Amino acid sequence: MTTSRIPGFYNLTLAERRAKLADAAGLSPFELTPFTSPLASDVASNMVENAVGTFSLPLGIALNFIVNGRETLIPMVIEEPSVVAGVSFMAKLARAGGGFTATSTEPLMIGQLQVLEVEDAEKAAERILAHKAELLTYVDAAESSLKSRGGGARDLEVRIIPESPIGKFLVVHLIYDVRDAMGANAVNTACERLAPRIETITGGRVHLKILSNLTDRRMAKATCMIPVKDLDFVAQVANLRYSGEDVRNGIIEAWAFAASDPYRAATHNKGIMNGVDAVVIATGNDWRAIEAGAHAYAARSGKYTSLSVWSKDGEGNLVGELAMPLAVGIVGGATKVHPVAQAAIKLMNVKSAGELAEIIVSVGLAQNLAALRALATEGIQRGHMSLHARQVAIAAGATGELIERVANQLAAEKNVRVDRAAEILKGMA
Ligand code: MEV
């Protein structure tokens, strides 16, 4: 791919956009056909029980991204207006600072075994740790394919829960490298395999054997720098001018609100997840797992807080950072069976789960910036207006070119309501 900048993309028809996209990504249009084909009934039926149909959502393309020096076109599946436009615009601003720099850790998942009814928790913990090497080898022996791909059991840790509604008990953590898979199945299988050995060693009873979605050993982090002069901005409302310094300071003040108040942090992080989930869904990954991990991580200190940090550098430029757990895969599960997920991964040309996580965390940071910039200046409603107005026009029964005309009228009147849309539509008939 030579560039993720495709000027005028917004004004093209869907078919023209797909043609441009294939061209920019160096793919044949055929490779993007899953984007326009409904999920086949037999695939749906093999994915969930009692399938009766499928449910579609829009798939948009985030433009302008450079992640670790690489131009990247990013598929996003989302029902909410303004998200795709917001991240694309912020990615354009971030280009001046070199785009997004992202890193990811090794793909280490945590599997948990709850060990009950041990006589002496401390002694049992010691005994497990004394058998660590043997237990790790035992887990690996059953998973030769993961091992041959460089993954496998890495470590065992033991935690004592001193007090709980059922009293004291032990928790064993299996640290498991799942390579390019999300890894839930591999971890759960490994935990189940380990359980009888843990029972023998501790004399206790292993109750739950399941992965943890707080995947804080499998993190991704993105940073970006926006030159302060590029934050200069004239709001459409009343032609209000905001200097770059005003916008930067406003964003830092908005972040400080989320950093100190859980009520605001929940909304702030929701904005981050608008970007994150959209790519997670487009690639067939488990967005509930990602959500669970993100929010648990945000509360790791005991107080729920912002996942991102915004500050200024020595030259006064705006600097953002987002670090979060990101257990996503590029093999297995829905990623493997859903043709759109396959095409999405091809489009981004990612070769490892870590690389995908680095793109996703960059999109999360971009979306956070889009929201804070809007909130710190003209407010969020203005940006939402035009697409929201289209949805309202459609809800009122507008079709074809009437959608645009009714939406424009609603936006001009700043009265985006279905009853008003119906009136306008009637007047146009
Ligand atoms: C809306 O989906 C997301 C925002 O509320 C995020 C935020 O407030 O930071 C705009």
**pLDDT for the residue numbered 3:** 87
How many domains does the chain divide into?
3
What CATH number did the domain enclosing 148 receive? 3.30.70.420
Q: Is 270 in the pocket of ligand 1 (CB under 6 A)?
A: yes
The rounded Cα 117 to chain-centroid distance in angstroms is 39
**pLDDT for the residue numbered 238:** 58
**pLDDT for the residue numbered 415:** 84
Let me know if 173 is a catalytic residue: no
- Helix segments in 131-243, DSSP class H: 132-141, 144-148, 184-202
**pLDDT for the residue numbered 337:** 85
**pLDDT for the residue numbered 249:** 97
- Minimum CA distance residue for ligand 1 atom 7: 268
The answer to whether position 357 is within a domain reads yes
| In a shared domain, residues 50 and 121 | no
Q: Is 267 in the pocket of ligand 1 (CB under 6 A)?
A: yes
Q: Is the pLDDT of residue 74 over 90?
A: yes
- Minimum CA distance residue for ligand 1 atom 9: 268
Q: Which of 20, 132, 173, 270 is catalytic?
A: 270
The answer to whether position 328 is within a domain reads yes
Last residue of a domain, one of 167, 194, 211: 211
Contact 113, 171 (CB under 8 A): yes
Last residue of a domain, one of 159, 188, 211: 211
The answer to whether position 3 is within a domain reads no
**pLDDT for the residue numbered 77:** 98
Q: Which of 143, 177, 180, 286 is catalytic?
A: 286
The answer to whether position 2 is within a domain reads no
The answer to whether position 287 is within a domain reads yes
| In a shared domain, residues 204 and 139 | yes
The residue-averaged pLDDT of 221-237 equals 88
Ligand 1 centre and the CA of 323: distance in Å?
18
Q: Which of 16, 80, 134, 313 is catalytic?
A: 80
Q: Is 82 in the pocket of ligand 1 (CB under 6 A)?
A: no
Average pLDDT, the chain: 94
* Per-residue model confidence as pLDDT tens digits over 105-144: 999 999 999 999 999 999 999 999 999 999 999 999 988 7
264, 269, 270, best to mutate for ligand 1 pocket (most atoms within 8 Å of CB): 270
| In a shared domain, residues 158 and 278 | no
| In a shared domain, residues 366 and 258 | yes
The residue-averaged pLDDT of 219-242 equals 86
**pLDDT for the residue numbered 36:** 92
| In a shared domain, residues 28 and 87 | yes
| In a shared domain, residues 294 and 231 | yes
Ligand 1 centre and the CA of 267: distance in Å?
6
Phi and psi at residue 338, in whole multiples of 5°?
-90, 120
**pLDDT for the residue numbered 236:** 64
82, 84, 268, best to mutate for ligand 1 pocket (most atoms within 8 Å of CB): 268
| In a shared domain, residues 228 and 301 | yes
| In a shared domain, residues 331 and 295 | yes
Residue whose token pair is 């001046």: 96
Q: Is the pTM of this model over 0.85?
A: yes
- Minimum CA distance residue for ligand 1 atom 4: 271
* Per-residue model confidence as pLDDT tens digits over 246-271: 999 999 999 999 999 999 999 999 99
| In a shared domain, residues 112 and 75 | no
Domain interval for residue 23: 9-101+218-375
Phi and psi at residue 59, in whole multiples of 5°?
-115, 115
| In a shared domain, residues 152 and 27 | no
Ligand 1 centre and the CA of 383: distance in Å?
12
Last residue of a domain, one of 165, 186, 211: 211
The residue-averaged pLDDT of 384-412 equals 85
CA neighbor of 36 nearest in space, from 12, 56, 65, 6: 56
Let me know if 232 is a catalytic residue: no
Q: Is the pLDDT of residue 239 over 80?
A: no
Ligand 1 centre and the CA of 321: distance in Å?
17
Phi and psi at residue 281, in whole multiples of 5°?
-70, -45
Q: Is 268 in the pocket of ligand 1 (CB under 6 A)?
A: yes
**pLDDT for the residue numbered 237:** 58
Ligand 1 centre and the CA of 367: distance in Å?
9
- Least confident piece of the model among 93-102, 275-284, 363-372, 401-410: 401-410
What CATH number did the domain enclosing 237 receive? 3.90.770.10
**pLDDT for the residue numbered 383:** 63
The residue-averaged pLDDT of 68-80 equals 97
User: Sign of torsion, CA 296 300 306 307?
Assistant: negative
The residue-averaged pLDDT of 17-44 equals 92
Give the whole-number percent of the chain exceeding pLDDT 90: 83
Q: Is 381 in the pocket of ligand 1 (CB under 6 A)?
A: no
* Per-residue model confidence as pLDDT tens digits over 338-386: 999 999 999 999 999 999 999 999 999 999 999 999 999 988 766 667 7
Would strands 59-67 and 233-234 be described as parallel, antiparallel, or unpaired? unpaired
Ligand 1 centre and the CA of 264: distance in Å?
10
The answer to whether position 81 is within a domain reads yes
* Between 225 and 333, residue with greater pLDDT: 225
The residue-averaged pLDDT of 212-221 equals 98
* Per-residue model confidence as pLDDT tens digits over 177-215: 999 999 999 999 999 999 999 999 999 999 999 999 999
**pLDDT for the residue numbered 289:** 98
| In a shared domain, residues 347 and 233 | yes
**pLDDT for the residue numbered 66:** 98
- The tokens for 206 are 């292993």
The answer to whether position 294 is within a domain reads yes
| In a shared domain, residues 201 and 246 | no
Would strands 101-104 and 108-116 be described as parallel, antiparallel, or unpaired? unpaired
Residue 271 CA, closest ligand 1 atom number: 6
Ligand 1 centre and the CA of 174: distance in Å?
36
**pLDDT for the residue numbered 390:** 84
Let me know if 286 is a catalytic residue: yes
Q: Is 274 in the pocket of ligand 1 (CB under 6 A)?
A: yes
Let me know if 378 is a catalytic residue: no
267, 381, 385, best to mutate for ligand 1 pocket (most atoms within 8 Å of CB): 267
**pLDDT for the residue numbered 267:** 98
The rounded Cα 426 to chain-centroid distance in angstroms is 42
The answer to whether position 1 is within a domain reads no
